[in-house]
Amino acid sequence: MPWDPVRDLLTMQERLESLFGRASPGWVPPADLSEAPDKYLVTIELPGLSRSDVHLDFQDGVLTVHGQRPGQQCNPERYQQLERGQGHFSRSFRCPLAVNADGITADLAEGVLTITLPKQTGQSARRIDIE
């Protein structure tokens, strides 16, 4: 696996935040957050996990994805190389614009969790007159 400086920085950030109680220790699955005119799309790589291993929460405009990957079945005396994350994980995403919480959908297929967060409609800029 080639070196990925972004993944390493995210891992360091999560570990530093865990020192101050803002994140849980464990591993950091890679994620993408993209924006379309009508929605946000979050994709997270979670190979080997089932739907029951992953939990989603949306509160105060923050989407939190958390769960656990079970440890290795074989426990060798010594690893030569250990790169796959295991144990608890947690990722949080804040969208810059309001999200329609009732319209959020999620699907886990082929090891990729895809979460669609539709933007709140009906909010538009308006002019406010000074009286």
Integer Cα distance of 117 and 100 in angstroms: 7
Q: Which of 9-13, 90-94, 108-112, 116-120 has the lowest mean pLDDT?
A: 9-13
Confidence of residue 126 (pLDDT cuts 50, 70, 90): low
The pLDDT tens digits for 57-91 are 999 888 999 999 877 666 667 767 767 777 899 99
Number of H helices, E strands in the chain: 1, 7
* pTM for the predicted model, two decimal places: 0.71
CATH topology of domain 5-74+84-118: Immunoglobulin-like (2.60.40)
Does the pLDDT at position 110 exceed 70?
yes
Residue 22 CA to chain centroid, in angstroms? Answer: 14
Which tokens belong to 92? 């949080």
